Amino acid sequence: MNSLYPLKFHPILKERLWGGTKLADQLNKPSTSDITGESWELSGVEGDVSIVANGSLKGSSLNDLIQRWGDDLLGKSVVDRFGKEFPILIKFIDAKQDLSIQLHPHDELARSRHNSFGKTEMWYIMDAEDDASLIVGFNQPMTKEQYIRSLEDKSLLEYMNYEKVKPGDTYFINTGKIHAIGAGVLLAEIQQTSDITYRVYDFDRRDKEGNLRELHTDLALDAIDFEQKDDFKVTYGRDKDEVNPMVDCPYFKTNYLNLRKDLLLDTRERDSFTILMCVEGDAVVANEEGSASLTKGETLLLPACSEKIEIRSTGCELLEVTV
């Protein structure tokens, strides 16, 4: 085994029309902007590849590490499926205003149109102002014709399903599902590595140059799931000092850890890297090669060759992500 200790990366901050200041105020991100909407914590997206922030590998890019260590970093099964591309994109998102209503294409469509993965994603609500909500799916069965009419007569919002949210609520967003994050929500997002979004409605907002943002009405028609489905709210346990399963899908698996004491994870049979996102409290995380601190709003990547992961804490809440 090489010196693949727990890796922390510099956040990649993104200004967004709908962003705010909670990423700096609550998660201690190095932002001076009042419209920072996203912090990309772990990214292999071209042009936005994460850079190591700690230890002897500081300054190396995620792609450099993958080229150098391959199976040891990602896991053989992950490399067999995804090659040398990092398959997960990890973000924190602050919505001061409503995001646009949008959806994402599935793998086949994304590959043929954009040479990209599709975008299946999961949201974990970290903070929500009073009456904050999400849009997830339709509130009634829809047809393509009905949907097109709702865009033309600006009645789309009447057909949206609104979900009032509170901290700890978790949502799984399949490709094709129409959705939007509402104003006042701070969340952690786990998704396939993809930046392909089809925006279908944006409340007629204008950017700082006074322009309406681009809509992707025609592209979305072939990608959208018009069925009314109740398949998005994730029910999971919140038992202390246990591994509580959350989402298990073809692209990622997530667990919720609510720790009040130290926890040792035996990862000898885990043929995947492990990501730990801290959504509350703090911890020290160690494998055989070293350790790193982890506080609210930070993310660690632990290599697949770790035989054990030790989490030392007297109080933290973590999201554990594997493939």
Which element (helix H / strand E) includes 286? strand 274-287
CA distance 235 to 28: 29
* Half-sphere exposure at residue 33, Cβ-oriented, CA atoms within 13 angstroms: 17
Scanning 144-215, the segments in alpha helix (DSSP H) are 144-152
CA distance 240 to 298: 21
User: What's the CA angle centered on 72, arms 247 and 88, to 5 degrees?
Assistant: 35
Identify whether the C-beta of residue 140 lies closer than 8 Å to the C-beta of residue 214.
Answer: no
Which residue among 68, 81, 113, 199 is the active-site one? 199
Radius of gyration of the chain (CA): 20
Identify whether the C-beta of residue 49 lies closer than 8 Å to the C-beta of residue 85.
Answer: no
199 as an active site residue: the answer is: yes
Q: Which amino acid, one-letter code, is at 58?
A: K
Q: Is the dihedral of CA 186, 78, 109, 50 positive or negative?
A: positive
Identify whether the C-beta of residue 243 lies closer than 8 Å to the C-beta of residue 255.
Answer: yes
- CA 263 distance to own-chain centroid: 24
Residue 40's SS3 state is strand
Active site residues: 199
